[in-house]
Amino acid sequence: MVEPLLPPKRKNPLKRTRLPVSPPDIRSRQSHLLTAAAAEGRFGMPGCLECGAVHYPARDACPNCLSSRIGLIACSDRGTLAEATAVEVSNNVYFRERSPWRVGLVTLDAGPGVVAHLHADCVVRGRVKLAWTLDRSGNAVAFATPETPSANMEDDRQIREMTLDPKHRRVLITDGRTALGQAVAKALSAAGAAIVFVGIADPWKPFAGQDRLAAIAGVQIMPLDITDTESVRELADEIGGRVDIVVNTAEHIRPGGLLDRNGVNLAREELDSGYLGLLRLAQAFGPAMKFRGADGVNSACAWVNVFSIYAQMPWPAYGAYSAAQAAMLGASMSLRGELRSGGVRVVHIFTGPTEDEWFQPLPPPKVAHGQIANAVVDALRRGIEEAWVGDVAQDFRERLQQNAKALEREVGQ
């Protein structure tokens, strides 16, 4: 059994901060089949799309029938831990700093043997559950946990290297005025975050839910206007070295396509709070987080951006808004690339229309803010990089994968 993780001691500012180093990060193109699965928390094995045989490690031709049609095939994630060892002497700095590091060979019920990272409660010849998860290099790795969940499972020191668990970490939520921001604050507090900084633009202006927000355990209201570079800088100067997770909940939803608007002022506002807002936040908070990617129990670990699904495929009726979301998504993917070497993961949450006044005329189903908040916590706990919240978003994603052109015609119908 894993001992419950204690809150970290107060950091001695005179001590050197351990710099993040990456575990090995080179992979073959074919093995990124598993990175794609890990990014969304799916399980499957590389396998043959002709004969159905699964194999591992990922190959470019099926060892059963030599077909070159290889893809990810859904199969059981259960198996037996055949053998285990603890690497005391490693050739890689990341593992040297974390030795002994426990690994083993899992014989999957589906057949292949998989070298995997092990949870401390996995026993040799015992049953395990295997998952593809992202390691601190951002690549998929196999992680085995006991088939029957054990106590404090998420506190295992090796699993904490894979996940982005908010427990004992300090979070910044960028906009507490919205129902979404407030729901995320509540959920992260409940998930064990040590401090939940909540940004509020123009704090002297009252807003709905203000008292309830202030009453949430660990919440600290901070002045933050992401459309104002100075405001963002000032907050970063004050708390930038203590922010382990950023959840950017900024939203600025206005209807209208390109033709039924007069001028670009509204579009500029949308870009200012979306794309440029992200840029300001990234420049102010990104470097310190990247520096603190290996800073102990409460290391910097995640940057969450909440997007509309229309970032992926525009809805002409909300065309300008969709374009601003797409710009922000593009920037966010670059941010992912830039933060990866610091061990900080960028998480994208895609949601369909919410229960929001600006989506008022839309028919159900709509996504409740609490649902999005839970998806944020779930993504952090599982360490996934992409989540689609609610039925509309799930359906949208499937359509996008199957036929993007069809979805382009269908959006808004």
Partner 1 sequence: MAYAKLPRKGYEGVVLAAPVTIAYRRYSTQSAHGWIGRALRGLVEAAGITRQDIDGFSVSSFTLFPDTAIGLTQHFGLSPRWLDHIPMGGASGVLGLRRAARAVQAGDASIVACVAGDTNYVDSFRKSLSSFSRFAQDAVYPYGSGGPNASFALIASNYMRTYGAERADFGKLAVAQRANALKTPHALMKKPLSLDDYLAARMIADPIALFDCVMPCAGAEAFLVMHEETAKSLNLPYVHLLGAIERHNAHADDPIQHRGGWTVDIDELYAQAGIRPDQLSFVQTYDDYPVISLMQLEDLGLCKKGEAKDFVRANSFTFDGTCPHNTSGGQLSVGQAGCAGGYLGMVEAIRQLTDSALGGQVKDARYGIVSGFGMITYDRGLASAAAILGRA
For partner 1, the binding residues (CB under 8 A) are 23-24, 26-28, 31, 56-58, 82-92, 94-95, 101-105, 107, 113-117, 124, 135, 137, 139, 141-142
Question: Under the phi-then-psi rule, with left for phi > 0, alpha for psi from -120 to 50, and beta for the rest, what region is 363?
Answer: beta
* Nearer Cβ to partner 1 (142/294): 142
* Nearer Cβ to partner 1 (160/186): 160
CA distance 34 to 12: 40
* Nearer Cβ to partner 1 (102/168): 102
* Nearer Cβ to partner 1 (105/120): 105
* Nearer Cβ to partner 1 (103/196): 103
The least distance separating partner 1 from the CB of residue 388, rounded to whole angstroms, comes to 27
215-236: b (≥16 Cβ within 10 Å) or e? ebebbebbebbbbbeebbebbb
* Nearer Cβ to partner 1 (7/52): 52
What is the DSSP code (8-state) at residue 123?
-
* Nearer Cβ to partner 1 (12/91): 91
CA distance 6 to 167: 10
The least distance separating partner 1 from the CB of residue 58, rounded to whole angstroms, comes to 7
The least distance separating partner 1 from the CB of residue 118, rounded to whole angstroms, comes to 9
Beta strands at 113-118 and 140-146: parallel, antiparallel or unpaired: parallel
Strand, coil or helix: what is 47? strand
Q: Is the dihedral of CA 143, 148, 154, 157 positive or negative?
A: negative
Strand, coil or helix: what is 79? strand
* Nearer Cβ to partner 1 (84/411): 84
The alpha carbon of 283 is separated from its chain's Cα centroid by a whole number of angstroms, namely 19
* Nearer Cβ to partner 1 (42/59): 59
The least distance separating partner 1 from the CB of residue 26, rounded to whole angstroms, comes to 6
The least distance separating partner 1 from the CB of residue 69, rounded to whole angstroms, comes to 19
118-144: b (≥16 Cβ within 10 Å) or e? bbbbbeeeeebbbbbbbbbbbbbbbbb
Q: Locate tokens 């839970």: which residue?
A: 374
* Nearer Cβ to partner 1 (43/358): 43
The least distance separating partner 1 from the CB of residue 39, rounded to whole angstroms, comes to 16
The least distance separating partner 1 from the CB of residue 16, rounded to whole angstroms, comes to 24
The least distance separating partner 1 from the CB of residue 117, rounded to whole angstroms, comes to 6
Q: Locate tokens 């292949």: which residue?
A: 112
197 forms bridges with which residues in the sheet? 172, 220
The least distance separating partner 1 from the CB of residue 76, rounded to whole angstroms, comes to 16
* Nearer Cβ to partner 1 (125/205): 125
The least distance separating partner 1 from the CB of residue 20, rounded to whole angstroms, comes to 16
Neighbours of 5 (CB within 10 A): 17
Q: Is the Cβ–Cβ distance between 353 and 365 less than 8 Å?
A: no
Using CA atoms, how far residue 243 sits from 13, 19, 250, 292, 378, in Å, is: 15, 16, 17, 9, 19
Edge-first strand order for the sheet with 345-351 is 219-223, 195-200, 170-173, 245-248, 302-308, 345-351, 386-389
| Structure tokens, 342 | 């610091």
Q: Is the Cβ–Cβ distance between 166 and 188 less than 8 Å?
A: yes
The least distance separating partner 1 from the CB of residue 113, rounded to whole angstroms, comes to 6
